[in-house]
Amino acid sequence: MGEATREAAEAAIDVLLQERREFPPSAEFASGAVASDPGVYERADADLDGFWLEQTREFLTWATPPAQGLDWDPPHCTWFADGALNVSANCLDRHVEAGRGDKVAYHFVSEPEDEDDRAITYADLLADVCRFANALRGLGIGKGDVVGLYMGMVPELAVAMLACARIGAPHVVVFGGFSAEALGERLESTGASLLVTQDEAWRKGGRVPLKVTADAAIELAPTVEHMVVLRRTGADVPMQDGRDVDWAAFVDGQADTCPAEPMEAEHMLFALHTSGTTAKPKAVVHTSGGYLTYVAVTHRWIFDIKDDDVYWCAADIGWVTGHSYIVYGPLANCTTGVLYEGDPMYPAPDRHWDIIERYGVTQYYTAPTLIRAFIKAGPEHPAGHDLSSLRLLGSVGEPINPEAWVWYWKYIGGERCPIVDTWWQTETGGIMISSLPGLVTAKPGSATRPFPGIRAAVFDERGNPVAPGSGGYLTITRPWPGMFRTLYQDDERYVSNYFSRYGHSTYFPGDGARQDAEGDFWLLGRVDDVMNVSGHRLSTIELESTLVEHPAVAEAAATAAPDPLTGQTPLCFVLLRAGREPSDELAAELREWIGEKIGKIARPKAVIIVDDLPKTRSGKIMRRLLKDVAEGHELGDTTTLRDPAVVEDLKRQTDAVLRPKDPPAGV
Ligand code: PRX
């Protein structure tokens, strides 16, 4: 952070929105909840080691049970370091051995309707994993060898991950929407020797050419010696003799059993790059014992997982949400899940509601950006389906605007399902701040309380706790088992990026937050999303939430434009709901709306009505580009954008409003 920004960041973040609605769990939900003992918070806080040792023994099966809990040499830690276990055996073998082999692990739903839908049992998954693991061994891959995975949302991706875990080969999954350059960089920097991919992936009825992209990527990653190619669409793709092999041929003749070697608890399970809003991706390293313990416990308690549930996390396995809450957490808990291959709006905006109805989904976990897209599409889509099987909803990825929260509650949850707003990151491995749904009263827009054993605090620039109600910097002041251990081959950056601001004992996630008088946490977005208007610090999320409350607005993005008088002034972009027409009058009305709702200080210089917002492939608004647009700079790197054309349009409109070439007559 530069000196000027540092100066500006010193005061607390002004909090202007006050959301007062509260949603306590119903008596019925609370009495049947998996996590129902309010004493768990105090117990975990008082005896961190005892708490986590007890959980890991209850949730996992260790080949050598650990006697050790946390070993903390700030900023490095280990958990359960004297224990050994195999992650894939914990996700598969022990369930099959307990007679649960026929339980469905995944209901796979293919994007082309009804084409390849199938139920995959725990026994099926174990056999597939063993065959793939044996084939990997046949290629000479073993403990410590990095394997790259570049696939769509197909069950084989989970198979490949678990096969890697079985033999101790760390995986590096790269989201299937990434470019050749992004993939190549991720493979090269982690030294992957094998890449598993597929011919093509289905997306929005079209085909994503994964193999062709992978071919271009490995030009940049000379360590990759082999490629395994799953046939998904059956397209004719180039195969290089001696280097590339079909998935089917690769596993052909392999035994469906394979010994699951115990790994030490701290053995690296995977590295995963943080999603691309920063320039150079960081490869976050997660372990076997601590990570699996953390995702299993958080999954069961936060999503209130019971044996007959059908749980659906609608994220992509290519992101951490999919790693932790589609693959490792749910499988460790022997959960039945839905794995949907395709786009939520394909072939129509009710695809998710159709799947929920068809499979009787009980828990549904998605991101605010998608909820806003559903709002835009209209409540008639969920209304056309029976969603009564749902009993819990989740949100992740960004702060959820209170209006979106309430829409989700009403139209998806039928005013019946608790909503867990789960704050966490790639680095944290699992959910850090979220309600336990049977114990904690939800407040729209608040992630509520740190998970048992997690200590979070809001600090000012100097590391002093800020008063309740004031904004500041979120910090985590004690380690947890799911914590990342380092950045792959870049420990220096691990220390400087995350553990320098407040000393080596305090993790700095880079988010702003406030705590209310009851101790609940309200996330305010990344700290560089904070602007300074006449010495008042405004969080972009508050402006966005206010705009989304307006009946014409589906989605909003706020940034700061330079202003000679006030330093910065908000500039907002909005997407209208279906049926609303853009007009100068409406733009002016929206500007006044913010002035009225938050105060004149927040009234934006302009509200610009746009057709789309510049988003990363994971659906996050790329704020760095909004800033470039607002400041009239050349656009920075746009390669991680879903649609680079969008930002050009924004720039054109913004320049016309902020920097008109022909000043109006009379000026
Ligand atoms: O800014 C926070 C936001 O997403 C960031 C982490 O992004 P990533 O590593 O890609 O992981 C996303 C899925 C866990 C955080 O620093 N974020 C995530 N969840 C929330 C959130 N912001 C507010 N509320 C949340 N529930």
Residues 457 and 564 in one domain: no
Residue bearing the bigger pLDDT, 457 or 623: 457
Give the span between the Cα atoms of 533 and 51, in whole angstroms: 45
316 lines ligand 1 (CB under 6 A): no
* DSSP H or E stretch at residue 264: strand 263-264
Query: In the sheet where 456-459 sits, what is the strand order?
Result: 456-459, 471-476, 511-515, 521-526
Asked whether 515 lines ligand 1 (CB < 6 A), one says no
In a domain, 232, yes or no: yes
Q: What CATH number corresponds to the domain at position 165?
A: 3.40.50.12780
Distance 637 CA to ligand 1 centre (A): 22
The position carrying tokens 């908000």 is: 570
User: 602 in helix, strand or coil?
Assistant: helix
Q: Supply the pLDDT for residue 278.
A: 45
Other C-beta atoms closer than 10 Å to the C-beta of 380 total 10
In percent, the amount of the chain with pLDDT more than 70 equals: 94
Counting from 1 in the atom list of ligand 1, the atom nearest the Cα of 427 is: 9
In 428-535, the DSSP E strands lie at 456-459, 471-476, 486-487, 511-515, 521-526, 530-533
Mean pLDDT, residues 222-233 taken together: 97
Q: What stretches of 307-407 show up as alpha helix (H) in DSSP?
A: 320-322, 329-332, 351-359, 368-377, 380-383, 402-407
- Residue of 285, 443, 498, 511 best suited for mutating to test ligand 1, as the one with most atoms within 8 Å of CB: 511
pLDDT band at 492 (very low <50, low <70, confident <90, very high): very high
Nearest CA to ligand 1 atom 24: 399
- End-of-domain residue from the set 477, 512, 547: 512
Least confident of 158-172, 285-299, 457-471: 457-471
**Cβ of 275: how many Cβ atoms within 10 Å?**
20
Element (H, E) at 542: helix 540-549
Number of residues in the chain:
667
Q: Which of 282, 475, 523 to mutate to test the pocket of ligand 1 (most atoms within 8 A of CB)?
A: 523
Whether residue 615 is found in the same domain as residue 467 = no
Residue 523 lies in a domain: no
Q: Is 312 helix (H, G, I), strand (E, B) or coil?
A: strand
Residue 162: is its pLDDT beyond 70?
Answer: yes
| Residue 528 burial class via C-beta count within 10 angstroms: exposed 0-12, middle 13-18, buried 19 and up | middle
Closest CA to 116 of 244, 231, 254, 240: 231
Distance 243 CA to ligand 1 centre (A): 38
CB 468 within 8 A of CB 516: yes
Statement to judge: residues 371 and 267 lie in one domain = yes
The answer on 537 and 466 residing in a single domain is no
Q: Looking at ligand 1, which residue's alpha carbon is closest to its atom 25?
A: 423
Do 63 and 103 reside in the same domain of the chain?
A: yes
Question: Within this chain, do residues 508 and 534 fall inside the same structural domain, yes or no?
Answer: no
**Does residue 639 belong to any structural domain of this protein?**
yes
Question: How is residue 630 written in tokens?
Answer: 């607002």
- Residues 6 or more apart whose CB falls under 8 angstroms from that of 641 comprise 614, 615, 616, 617, 622, 625, 647
**Residue from 321, 398, 528, 529 to probe ligand 1 pocket by mutation (most atoms less than 8 Å from CB):** 398
Report the C-alpha gap between 183 and 335 in whole angstroms.
31
Q: What is the per-residue pLDDT across 50-69, written as a single tens digit (0 to 9) for each? A: 999 999 999 999 999 999 99
Tens digits of per-residue pLDDT, 562-574?
A: 887 777 889 999 9
The tokens describing 482, both together, are: 């799911």
- Is the pLDDT at 5 greater than 60? The verdict is no
Domain boundary (480, 512, 544) is at 512
| Last-in-domain residue among 484, 512, 540 | 512
Instruction: Evaluate whether 478 touches 53 at the Cβ level (below 8 Å).
Output: no
Same domain? 600 vs 628: yes
* Residue 2 maps to a domain: no
User: Same structural domain for residues 85 and 214?
Assistant: yes
Within-domain flag for 369? yes
Question: Distance from the CA of 397 to the center of ligand 1, in angstroms?
Answer: 4
Q: Is residue 476 part of a domain?
A: yes
Q: How far apart are CA 321 and CA 184, in angstroms?
A: 23
Residues 482, 558 share a domain: no
Residues 305 and 405 in one domain: yes
Going from the Cα of 586 to the center of ligand 1, the distance in angstroms, rounded, reads 32
Encode pLDDT of 425-441 as tens digits: 999 999 999 999 999 99
Return all residues near 40 (Cβ < 8 A) that are at least 6 apart. Answer: 436, 452
Band of the pLDDT at 187, cuts 50, 70, 90? very high
Range of the domain at 451: 27-512
- 108 CB under 6 A from ligand 1? no
Minimal-distance CA residue to ligand 1 atom 3: 398
Which residue, judged by its Cα, is nearest atom 18 of ligand 1?
397
Q: State whether 503 and 537 are in the same domain.
A: no
Q: Quick check: is 214 in a domain? A: yes
Q: Are 616 and 622 in contact (CB under 8 A)?
A: yes
Domain count, the chain: 2
- The ligand 1 atom nearest the CA atom of 426: 9
Two structure tokens written together for 287: 């372990």
**Nearest protein CA to atom 22 of ligand 1, as residue:** 398
Asked whether 422 lines ligand 1 (CB < 6 A), one says yes
Nearest-atom index, ligand 1, CA of 274: 9
Residue 250 has pLDDT above 60, yes or no: yes
Residue 20 covered by a domain = no
On whether both 505 and 539 belong to a single domain, the answer is no
Predicted confidence at residue 12, as pLDDT, reads: 54
Q: Judge if the beta carbon of residue 275 lies within 6 A of ligand 1.
A: yes
Q: CATH number for the domain including 591?
A: 3.30.300.30
- The answer, yes or no, to whether any atom of ligand 1 lies below 6 A from the CB of 448, is no
Q: Report the pLDDT value the prediction gives residue 453, as an integer from 0 to 100.
A: 98
